[in-house]
Amino acid sequence: MAVSPIIIICLLSLIGYGSCHPPPPPPPRGCSVDVDPPYRVLCDLEAVWGVVLEAVACSGGVTSLVLAVLLLVKLRSISDPARRSGLGPLLLLLGTLLGIFTISLAFLVGKNQALCVVRRAFWGPLFALCFSSLLVQGVRLRRLVSGKSSPSGSTLAALGLALALVQGIISAEWVLLTVVREGHPACEYPPLDFALTCSYTLGLLLIAMGLSLGVVLCGGEFAAEGGGNSEEDRETENEKRRWKCNAVWLFLSSLASALLWVAWLGFYLYGSQALRGKANRERGGGKKDARVLDEPALAVALVIQGWILLLFHAIPEAHLCLRKPPQSNTQDFFDTSHTSPPPHFGDELPSHSHRPFAENQAFSMEEHSASSSHGNVRPGIAFRGHVYQPTEMALVMNGGTMPTAPVNYTGRRLW
């Protein structure tokens, strides 16, 4: 009987614990019970924006991967060094776009310490890689339009990596100073600090846009001398026009990226704070939705930026690299790659049955009979009294080779 009060106390404590911690809310439509609440935005069909953004990001990642594989497969078929030099920065850009579409999913799910460190550490370097790829493409197009040779694709890709490394150092120092040294939570940081750490990335974008605009507007002035009216000069002008087409796509992608950055920075720094303040005043000053708009805004900016670079730069650049160059109208007489078979003189003549050198043999027979009348005969030797000179018909009938006199022909007899 003494055990029953203990059992009753335990049951009452369990009931009180259950009343203090209510059961978790049921999952939304489209999500199962096994999905954790932070990840339910990826399958919530009631708030469909997360599913749509996830689908757009996944399709962009698949497109970048397929385009990169296609360029690697067609790499051997591109023999022009000028076109081949653009593949290095283009492959670097496609790999970076795959990372951008992947990290955009990290801004959709709930926040924890490790996930926030990943967001802050990879946001700036990924964009720096994208914009440094655009910058080195602008340097390449400027040299090609001016008539100079472009650096190799590996050199341009290494230059892009070196430029993006600076942003990587900036982001790493920011995370280490605020999280490790000062001990602040990784998910709590002022929006202004986040925007200032991306100032170097924005500088790369502006330089790339300036270079591409210079190639589009002043591309012909970069050349040393003006061209003439020869066929070679016309081909050079056509080649410069094609490089200007690449520069137009590069400028459009840079301009669209700059407009997007102005839009999302303005919303992230001012519009999001205004909306949060209004929502907090309506809810009585609560802090429940203090940052509910920040992460979706960053995720949308990532996905839109990736598709801008994919549609306005990666796909046109890949098409222009893989397109076969137009054939030249001038004939290179010193080109031995295409050899024509030697002419067959016998095929051009009408078919008739007669032996070659008929006129020469007739002439020799007359000379032989004439010399026999004088009594001086060389038995078994058909010769002429003059120097042996084959006619043009004899050359044609013999297939182009020079007929020779008999071996034991001693030359002209003097009598």
Q: What is the CATH number of the domain that holds 318?
A: 1.20.1070.10
- Span of 212-226, 253-267, 287-301, 312-326 with lowest mean pLDDT: 287-301
Is residue 404 a part of any domain in this protein?
A: no
Coil, helix or strand at residue 69: helix
User: DSSP class of residue 201?
Assistant: H
Report the mean per-residue pLDDT for the chain: 74
Sole residue written with tokens 């050198």: 357
**Per-residue pLDDT, 404:** 61
CA–CA separation, 409 and 364 (whole Å) = 12
Is residue 106 a part of any domain in this protein?
A: yes
CA–CA separation, 359 and 245 (whole Å) = 68
**Per-residue pLDDT, 383:** 46
Sole residue written with tokens 């222009």: 320
Query: Does 312 score more than 90 pLDDT?
Result: yes
CA–CA separation, 161 and 394 (whole Å) = 73
Confidence of residue 38 (pLDDT cuts 50, 70, 90): low
Is residue 252 a part of any domain in this protein?
A: yes
Is residue 38 a part of any domain in this protein?
A: yes
**Per-residue pLDDT, 400:** 57
**Per-residue pLDDT, 87:** 92
CA–CA separation, 300 and 54 (whole Å) = 10
**Alpha helices, DSSP H, located in 227-291:** 231-266, 272-282
What does pTM read for this prediction? 0.69
Q: Please give the share of the chain, as a percent, with pLDDT higher than 70.
A: 59
CB atoms within 10 A of CB 242: 16
- Span of 61-70, 299-308, 388-397, 401-410 with lowest mean pLDDT: 401-410
Largest CA distance in the chain: 166
Is residue 45 a part of any domain in this protein?
A: yes
**Per-residue pLDDT, 384:** 47
Number of domains into which the chain is organized: 1
* Torsions phi, psi for 148 (to 5 deg): -95, 165
Angle, CA of 327, 328 and 330, to the nearest 5°: 150
User: DSSP class of residue 177?
Assistant: I
Which H or E element spans position 157?
Answer: helix 153-175
**Per-residue pLDDT, 18:** 42
Type of residue found at 100: I
Q: Is 218 exposed, middle or buried (0-12, 13-18, 19+ CB in 10 A)?
A: exposed
**Per-residue pLDDT, 80:** 85
**Per-residue pLDDT, 289:** 45
pLDDT in tens, 83-141: 889 999 999 999 999 999 999 888 888 777 888 888 888 999 999 999 999 999 999 99
Q: For residues 231-246, give the mean pLDDT.
A: 78
**Per-residue pLDDT, 398:** 65
Query: Does 295 score more than 80 pLDDT?
Result: no
Coil, helix or strand at residue 88: helix
Contacts of 399-404 with CB under 8 Å at 24 or more apart are 399/344, 399/345, 399/346, 400/345, 403/357, 403/360
- Span of 164-173, 317-326, 404-413 with lowest mean pLDDT: 404-413
- Determine contact, residues 41/31, Cβ cutoff 8 Å: no
**Per-residue pLDDT, 77:** 86
Q: For residues 385-414, give the mean pLDDT.
A: 58
**Per-residue pLDDT, 167:** 94
- Span of 41-55, 187-201, 294-308, 311-325 with lowest mean pLDDT: 41-55
Confidence of residue 49 (pLDDT cuts 50, 70, 90): confident
Is residue 57 a part of any domain in this protein?
A: yes
Confidence of residue 209 (pLDDT cuts 50, 70, 90): very high
CB atoms within 10 A of CB 150: 20
Query: Does 357 score more than 50 pLDDT?
Result: no
**Per-residue pLDDT, 340:** 52
Coil, helix or strand at residue 11: helix
Positive or negative torsion for Cα 312, 316, 318, 320: negative
Structure-block tokens of residue 133: 């790829």
Measured CA distances, 43 to 26, 196, 296, 415 (Å)? 14, 34, 15, 118
Q: Please give the residue range of the domain that contains residue 36.
A: 28-221+241-282+289-322
Query: Does 345 score more than 60 pLDDT?
Result: no
CB atoms within 10 A of CB 264: 20
Of the candidates 141, 134, 195, 143, the residue with the CA atom closest to the CA atom of residue 164: 134
Sole residue written with tokens 């929502």: 279
**Per-residue pLDDT, 52:** 86
Positive or negative torsion for Cα 353, 357, 363, 365: negative
Positive or negative torsion for Cα 186, 189, 192, 193: negative
Structure-block tokens of residue 195: 């925007």
